[in-house]
Chain A
């Protein structure tokens, strides 16, 4: 079965710093990903999706996709304490019928 692996498991960055999160899929047919953010005690909300090779930027958030290596990364610049959350990566599964999630990266931004 396809695995979606995220690293690191947890990350602490100083306020104003850069956070970098990684995600890979074991399924060679996967060529797009989603990133979700889940604050403590809340439900996940989609942050960004990426469907083509390269980079996509939305405000302080940038997502990279390398289809050849089945790897995506999320970068948060000028990190804020409000960015502290669990970040989940998802890849298409079962021929794109649903999304399969990784175990997440817990980000803590400290003042």
Chain B
């Protein structure tokens, strides 16, 4: 089965600090995504990437940056963490086959900003 791992699994950060969340996939997938999940908001897309060294904005990119240094790795960066960024963050990958287009999610990172 497709494998997506995330680190750290949980993190406590201070307001104004820098946070980096990492994601690694061994699926050989081209597409990778970062979502946040808050109660009552389902999953909201922050950034995505379909090729190494390139990232695209999703629906809620403000306050976040992304980096895709290789096909396997995708990072989410909070340069100045804020209280409103407390959430669970999921990374996902999918292949290019539009007919399949299943996303495989990592286990999530619980971020608490104090």
- A interface residues, Cβ below 8 angstroms from B: 1, 6, 34, 42-46, 49, 51, 88, 93, 96-104
Contact, CB under 8 Å: A100 / B59: yes
Stretch of B11-19, B37-45, B74-82 contacting A (4+ beta carbons < 8 Å): B37-45
Instruction: Write 19 A-B pairs (CB below 8 A) sorted by A numbering.
Output: A1-B59, A43-B90, A43-B106, A43-B108, A44-B90, A44-B103, A44-B105, A49-B101, A49-B102, A51-B99, A93-B59, A98-B48, A99-B101, A101-B35, A101-B42, A101-B44, A103-B41, A103-B42, A104-B42
Tell me, in angstroms, the Cα distance from A43 to B48 when the chains sit together: 18
Per-residue CB proximity of B47-66 to A under 8 Å, as 1/0? 01010000010110000000
A/B pair count, beta carbons within 8 Å: 46
Number of interface residues of B (CB under 8 A): 24
Q: How far is the CA of A101 from the CA of B58 in the complex (A)?
A: 12
Interface string of B95-113 (1 = CB under 8 A from A): 0001101110111100000
Highest count of chain B CB atoms <10 Å: which of A42, A45, A96, A101: A101
Instruction: Take A98-B33, A98-B48 as given contacts and tell me if A44 and B43 are in contact as well, using a CB distance cutoff of 8 Å.
Output: yes
Q: Which residues of A contact B98 (CB under 8 A)?
A: 96
Q: How far is the CB of B58 from chain A (nearest CB, A)?
A: 7
CB distance from B21 to the nearest CB of A (A): 14
Q: Given A43-B108, A96-B98, does the pair A88, B43 have CB atoms closer than 8 Å?
A: yes
**How distant is A26 from chain B, measured CB to nearest CB, in Å?**
14
Across the interface, name the chain A residue whose C-beta is closest to B44. Answer: A101
For residue A104, which residue of chain B has the nearest CB? Answer: B42
* Min CB–CB distance B24 → chain A (angstroms): 15
Q: Which residue of A lies closest to B41 (CB)?
A: A103
Please give me the 5 A-B residue pairs with the lowest Cβ-Cβ distance, nearest first.
A43-B105, A103-B42, A101-B43, A101-B42, A46-B102
Chain A residues within an 8 Å CB radius of B31: 98
Give CA–CA (A103, B44) in the complex, Å. Answer: 9
- Minimum CB–CB distance for A39 against chain B, Å: 12
Chain A residues near B58: list those with CB within 8 A.
98
Minimum distance in angstroms from A24 CB to a CB of chain B: 14
